[in-house]
Chains A and B, each alone.
Chain A
Amino acid sequence: MTIVIGLIFILGLCVFIFQKWIRKWNLYVYGFAILLSIFSFTQETTIINMGYVGLSFFFLVMIASTMAPSTLKKKLMGNRAELAVLGSIFSVTHGLKYIIFAIDYRFFWEAPLYFYLGICAVLVMIPLALTSLMFIRKKMKGKSWKKLHQLSYIFYALILIHVILINNDRFLFYIVLTILYVVYKTMTLLSKKGEVKKIKPAI
Chain B
Amino acid sequence: MVKNILLLIILMMLLVVGIMKEPMRDTVDLMAGASTETYRTQIDLIAGVSEGGYSQGSYPTGE
Contact = CB atoms under 8 A, between A and B. Distances in A.
Chain A complexes with chain B: yes
Interface of A: 1-3, 5-6, 8-9, 43-47, 50, 63, 67-68, 70, 72-73, 98, 101-102, 105, 107, 111-112, 115, 166-169, 173, 176-177, 180, 184, 187
B6 to A, nearest CB: 9
A68 B48 contact: no
Contacts of B21: 1, 169
A101 B10 contact: no
Interface in B15-39: 15, 17-19, 21-22, 24, 27, 30-31, 33-35, 38-39
30 contacts: A1-B14, A1-B18, A2-B18, A2-B24, A9-B11, A43-B33, A44-B33, A45-B30, A45-B39, A45-B41, A46-B33, A63-B7, A68-B3, A98-B43, A101-B47, A102-B47, A105-B47, A107-B47, A111-B46, A112-B42, A112-B46, A115-B43, A166-B42, A167-B42, A169-B21, A169-B38, A173-B14, A173-B18, A176-B10, A187-B3
B34 A45 contact: yes
A107 B31 contact: no
Interface of B: 1-4, 7, 10-11, 14-15, 17-19, 21-22, 24, 27, 30-31, 33-35, 38-39, 41-43, 46-49
A141 B48 CA distance: 49
B46 A47 contact: no
Contacts of B39: 3, 45, 50
Nearest to B35: A45
A168 B35 CA distance: 14
A68 B3 CA distance: 6
Contact of B7 (A3, A112, A184): A184
B52 to A, nearest CB: 15
Please report whether the interface of chain B is mostly helix, strand, loop or mixed according to DSSP: helix
Nearest to B41: A50
Given A1-B18, A2-B19, A67 B3 contact: yes
B14 A176 contact: yes
Contacts of B18: 1-2, 5-6, 173
A105 B49 contact: yes
Contacts of B47: 101-102, 105, 107
B4 A101 contact: no
Q: Which 4 A-B pairs have the closest CB atoms?
A: A1-B18, A2-B18, A105-B47, A68-B3
Given A2-B27, A47-B31, A180-B7, A68 B2 contact: yes
